[in-house]
Amino acid sequence: MKFQEIIHDMGRAGQQVTDLGAAEGAAGNISVFTRHLEDIPESYQETGTISLPTPALALTDGWVVISGTGKRLRDIADHPEKTVSLVQVLADGLHGKVFSATELRPTSEFNSHLGIHEDQVARRGIPYLAVIHAQSRHMAYLSHLPEYSDTYSLNRRLLRWEPETVITFPEGFGMIPFEVPGTEALRQATVEGLRTHKLVIWQRHGQVARSDESVSRAADYIEYSETAAAYEYLNLSLGSPVEGISVRQILDICAAYKIDQHFFKEDEG
C-alpha cells in the first residue's frame, strides 16, 4: 500500500472517533499492518532499532504504521509527521527499525496492537489489518456497571436496539475484564478476544476494533457499538420503559440474514 493512502484513512478514522467523543485529548490509538509500504516520504528517516514488545514472526519484513504516544488522533490527517511513526519488523521477529519525521514513540498500547496484528496475520494469512482503540463515553460508563461486566450480559442488553447491530455483529461484542493499560495481561486477553470478535470492550476503559478492510471500517465498528450503548444508557436514564427489539424479532432478523446468534435462543422467542 501507499503511505499516503494509509495516512488518509487513519486521518479520517481519527476525526470520526473524535467527533464521536471517543478520543478526548490524546486518548485512543490507531495502527495499520501492511506487508508492503510504498512512497514513504523523505522526511521519514530511520531513527534506530527497537526490541518489539511482543514477538512478531508472522509480520517479518512488514510494516506497522502507528500513532504516537501523547498524540491526538484528530491531528493525523493534517500533521502525520508529528503523530505517526513506522516500524519495519526485522527478520528475527523480535526487533524493528523505526522511521519517523520527528521524535516520537509508538502508543503506550503498542504491545496490544502488535499482538493483535501478529495473531491475526499468523492465523489468517492476511496482508493488511487495521486496529483502533477509542474511548466512547456511553460504552465506557456501562462497562462500570456489574450488569454489563460479562460478554453474555453485555450482548443481551446491547444487541436489542437496532437491527443493524445484530447484522453487523453476529458474533456480538467481547468483554475484556479490567486490566491495567499497556500490560501483558491486557495484551493476551485482547488478542484472544479478537479471535472471535471484531470488537472488544476494555472494561472501564474503551473499545478495540479490528478490520482487514480499512481503518475507517474499524472506526465504524466503534461507532456502531457506541450507538448501541447510547440507546441502552438512554433507556436506563428513563427508568427502562422499553424492552427494545424483542427476542422473537431478533431471531427473525437472524433467520432472514442467516446469522448464527449465540445470545438469544428459539425457546425464548
Q: What is the pLDDT along the chain (269 residues), one digit of tens a residue?
A: 999 999 999 999 999 999 999 999 999 999 999 999 999 999 999 999 999 999 999 999 999 999 999 999 999 999 999 999 999 999 999 999 999 999 888 888 999 999 999 999 999 999 999 999 999 999 999 999 999 999 999 999 999 999 999 999 999 999 999 999 999 999 999 999 999 999 999 999 999 999 999 999 999 999 999 999 999 999 999 999 999 999 999 999 999 999 998 898 876 76
pLDDT at 262: 87
Distances (CA, A) of 21 to 10, 55, 135, 206, 257: 17, 33, 8, 12, 32
The pLDDT assigned to 267 comes to 67
Q: Alpha helix locations (H) across 20-90?
A: 80-83
pLDDT at 258: 95
H helix count then E strand count, the chain: 9, 9
Cell numbers for 9 = 484513512
User: Which pLDDT belongs to residue 269?
Assistant: 61
DSSP string, 14-25: HHHHHHTT---T
Residue partners of 35: CB distance under 8 A and separation at least 6: 61, 62, 63, 127, 128
The residues pairing with 46 across neighbouring beta strands, listed in sequence order, are 99
Cell of 250: 431478533
Of 118, 105, 127, the closest CA to residue 6 belongs to: 127
* Domains assigned to the chain: 3-268 (3.40.225.10)
Whether residue 49 contacts residue 77, with contact meaning beta carbons closer than 8 Å, is answered with no
